[in-house]
Structure 1
Amino acid sequence: MMIETDLCIVGSGPVALFAVYEAGQFDMQCHLIGEYPDQKESAPSVQHGQLTMILMEKITAYRPSFSYEEWIENIVHMKNEHYVITTNKKTKILCKSLLFTNKSEPFIQD
């Protein structure tokens, strides 16, 4: 089975969730890949848990899908300008765009 989405977001912190909110306003379907369901990516002055809860509530209308406890093993850039991502759990994701909101160093094959 392959997940098809407009935007694949790598990360699961507040930045990733806000990206879902913004993309959703443009009718883009999003899928998030996060190694941990509650990454501590926010600034120390922001109460991370509260911010995450608020953002999770805001994005429910856009129905993003999630792959938690997964990380990218391979990215292939297809000739049709799409990407095929394979995770450590062999989840395959076909997307039009990628957004990295964490410190990942992507390896993309053409």
Structure 2
Amino acid sequence: MEPKLSPAVIQTAQAHEGPIETDALIIGAGPVGLFQVFELGLLEIKAHVIDSLAYPGGQPIELYPDKPIYDIPAIPVCTGKELTDALLKQIEPFGATFHLGQTVTVVQKQDDGRFYVETSKGTRFLTKTIFIAAGVGAFEPRTLKVDGLDKFEGTQLFYRVKNPADFAGKNLVIVGGGDSALDWTLNFTAEGPNKAESVILLHRRDGFKAAPASVAKMK
């Protein structure tokens, strides 16, 4: 469930014959990257933002768009989408330019002190400063290596939960042992409108790499 983007916030960079020259380049459009846009805006510095996802929001919007998040300062509870929408609203006045769906492939220090940056889509920059807000890195699903399985992607095979209601009342197999796997297992087994008919969790190890509270609920 991608956030609704304001045209005042998400601008498409115009074609440039040479590199885009800017004072600030932010790598990562998650919560930290978006708040950095705000902080720079207070100093009247406009920023360009690069992210591998096709939309801003980072981990919260990719993994927890509709799940409650409890560890945001001063916000008792919100979803990933609500957090992202609030951050986008906050930076609207500062006119950041977003370059989405691409990753940084080249960073080179120049003789004049600036940095030359190039992305996987060939977008080039000359920037005075780089702010790295990449979190755990680019979000790319670890796909299952099974011949012929790709034809089921989007119908019976999913690497991301966009709308939990789509899985209500169904028989699910969740593969993984991290936070996302456990969170969705707990979500789909809990009483409520999104409860699945059955849930099987498959993990290659005996233990889980997830928040202790989630692991405790699985026991």
Question: Normalising TM by the smaller chain, what interval?
Answer: 0.7 to 0.9
- Name the TM-score, length of structure 1 as normaliser: 0.86
Cα distance between partner residues in 1 of 2:32 and 2:60: 8
Cα distance between partner residues in 2 of 1:30 and 1:64: 5
Q: CA deviation at 1:41?
A: 5.0
Q: Which protein, 1 or 2, shows the higher relative CO under an 8 Å CA cutoff with sep ≥ 6?
A: 1
Count how many residue pairs are aligned between Structure 1 and Structure 2. 104
Cα distance between partner residues in 1 of 2:127 and 2:89: 24
Determine what percentage of the aligned residue pairs are the same residue. Answer: 25
Q: Report what 2:31 is aligned to.
A: 14
Unaligned runs of 5+ in 1: 105-110
Residues 25-77 of structure 1: CA distance to partner in whole angstroms, max 9, x if unpaired?
A: 00111010000124215894252211111111111111000110000110111
What is the aligned counterpart of 1:39 among 40, 58, 61? 58
Q: Report what 1:107 is aligned to.
A: none
CA RMSD between the two structures = 1.8
Q: Report what 1:108 is aligned to.
A: none
Q: Higher Cα Rg: structure 1 or 2?
A: 2
After TM superposition, what 4+ stretches of structure 1 lie above 3 angstroms from structure 2? 41-44
Residues 74-110 of structure 1: CA distance to partner in whole angstroms, max 9, x if unpaired?
A: 0111111111100001000111101111135xxxxxx
- Name the TM-score, length of structure 2 as normaliser: 0.45
Q: Report what 2:43 is aligned to.
A: 26
The answer as to 2:130 corresponding to 1:95 is no
Q: Judging by fraction of residues, say which structure has more strand.
A: 1
Secondary structure, aligned partner of 2:59: coil
